[in-house]
Chains A and B, each alone.
Chain A
């Protein structure tokens, strides 16, 4: 019998992208148990509803996280628009969908880089992030910001994106497809990568459903759960969306799900750009949210399902803005997969659920 040590992992750890703390009970480099704790980055953003009116609150919600930024802005706007019974123009819906899918591409490319870094493959990490820079440039050209876009507002979009810019966006994305393919082939085919990822952190379908995992974590285990199917947000119904599912349930399966989602997003953007109608991009929204008017909306963020709930107070301030992010639901799945794994696998497993602790803790 080996000696049990407790290795503290995080919140500041060079390999970790997010400040999660895990106490790993390790016995001869095998993790017996993992005890998570979060709370290192709680900023109390939801309390700012008392100080910022509902227009300014959208900015606050956008800045909950840098990677899921557009999704948060969109969700907050949807929730407030629902509470005020505002219907936004169709072009705005299309633009929001396009930018959200672009955000998904960015998030997955970033994640691929982090994953490569997690198993010590720095060159792949840097190449993935180099391709991600192209996407960030697209964002800057169209919305003005590389990470936080501030382009969603209650009632639509702040600025229109011209059709030429949209066509250019599609061209650029198609141009980097080849590069992305050459990099993702490394993930799928390289022996050393396969050695680190295949068979590691297996989450069976039953476990995934029981632990209520969301997003690519659950789609890698064979469950076809994707909110874009429900067509409650955006125009996915018109774009003919099918979720991507892998059966194996290990790290490699989740990686494959995300890789295929990148290519799927490029196709969705192309389709949306070809179908986008002309028209205004915003309606003028005046007045306040009624007292007691509430609305809840669910979005498919790159990491999974996110809830947004808004409740009005009759004045320009909201009474409550609640955000529930996907990583919150994935942490139990993480803890389950950590049991019995090697110490060397811990960063891989933490990364495979694509944690975004700053979203979880706002």
Chain B
């Protein structure tokens, strides 16, 4: 019990810090790949600090409520995950959080935010199947949906679930909002929807969204970590290394692709989910 409380508190406190550094590294490595110098590694922190100092100018005052709800649900999902709760509950909580983000975007009545919100909904529909299939795959392999049980198995789930792993990395591109699937909200705002979903958020609200990204990133990397848990220390070490490698692979993918349209994102995510995910689950069913 104490461990759970400690891990939740550790998540709540450390996740933004680690997430911030990871985001900074993302920008620095991207810059190096483009032969630029790039911002200092703590730049995301400076950005959020600046955002919190800005004047609040919201088109509607309900926005804040929705964004706080989004943040709460997202942090809640992460907390449940690190407290060892049910994986499906985690996924659904996270989905509600994302739904609140979409509603917040709709509430601002701006055309850019509306189109961004539509795209965000399509994105959600694109990645949900794969997430759920991953959870199902864990259940098939380890026999439980609870994260507590999933971190203490005997064998590493990586190789038997390799199809699901690759599929998960694929949709991670969508979740991390990286090219080719940064449809609804690009970090660089160089897209047709200005800032997409987050167009109408300013100041503190925008700051909260940035912070929520950090939480989300850490929680998603936690998912990858689950693939490598086998109860031993070196399993954890490999897990951590693969998490970081996966993150930088996403950065590399971000820099190597143009942005695709939502039709392609949707279709390809479902095809990957079906081909890799379902086949893998089938194999898991037959073999294990």
Contact B189 A192 (CB under 8 A): no
Interface flag for B30 (CB, 8 Å): yes
Q: Which residues of A contact B255 (CB under 8 A)?
A: 122-123
Alpha-carbon distance between A13 and B196 when the two chains are bound, in angstroms = 12
A250 to B188, CA, bound (A): 27
Q: How far is the CB of A192 from chain B (nearest CB, A)?
A: 4
- In the complex with contacts A7-B111, A122-B34, A126-B35, A14-B189 CB distance below 8 A: yes
A196 in the interface (beta carbon within 8 A): yes
Pairs of residues from A and B, 9 with the lowest C-beta to C-beta distance, nearest first: A120-B259, A126-B34, A123-B255, A121-B258, A192-B258, A119-B258, A7-B111, A192-B257, A14-B189
> Which chain A residues (325-357) contact chain B, with CB distance < 8 Å?
342-344, 346-347
Residue on A nearest B255 in the bound complex, by CB? A123
Segment 1-47 of B: residues with Cβ below 8 Å from A = 30, 33-36
Closest residue on chain B to residue A197 by CB atoms: B258
**CA distance in complex: A26, B111 (Å):** 10
A122 touches B35 (CB 8 A): no
B192 an interface residue at 8 Å Cβ cutoff? yes
Q: Name the CB-closest residue of A to B188.
A: A122
Contacts of A195 in B (CB 8 A): 258, 260-261, 264
A-B contact pairs, 29 of them (CB 8 A): A5-B115, A7-B115, A9-B192, A13-B194, A14-B190, A14-B191, A15-B190, A29-B115, A120-B180, A120-B182, A120-B188, A120-B190, A121-B179, A121-B258, A122-B34, A123-B30, A123-B33, A124-B258, A126-B34, A127-B34, A127-B35, A190-B257, A192-B180, A192-B257, A192-B260, A195-B258, A195-B264, A344-B192, A346-B192
Q: Which of A1-32 contact B (CB under 8 A)?
A: 5-9, 13-15, 26, 29
Which residue of the partner chain A has the closest CB to B118?
Answer: A29
CB-defined contacts of A346 to chain B, threshold 8 Å: 192
Which of A117, A190, A344 is B262 in contact with, Cβ under 8 Å?
A344
Give bound CA distance, A193 to B258, whole Å: 6
Q: Is the CB of B259 within 8 A of A119?
A: yes
Residues of B within 8 A of A8 (CB): 111
Q: Bound complex: CA of A190 vs CA of B255, how far in Å?
A: 13
Q: Does A130 contact B (CB under 8 A)?
A: yes
Out of A122, A130, A190, name the residue touching B190 (CB < 8 Å).
A122
| 9 further contact pairs, Cβ within 8 A, besides A121-B179, A190-B257, A343-B192 | A26-B111, A26-B115, A121-B259, A122-B30, A123-B256, A192-B257, A192-B258, A196-B259, A196-B260
Q: CB of A116 within 8 A of chain B?
A: yes
Cβ contacts under 8 Å, A120 to chain B: 179-180, 182, 186, 188, 190-191, 258-259
Per a CB cutoff under 8 Å, which of B111, B114, B190, B261 touches A344?
B261
B112 interface hit (Cβ, 8 Å): yes
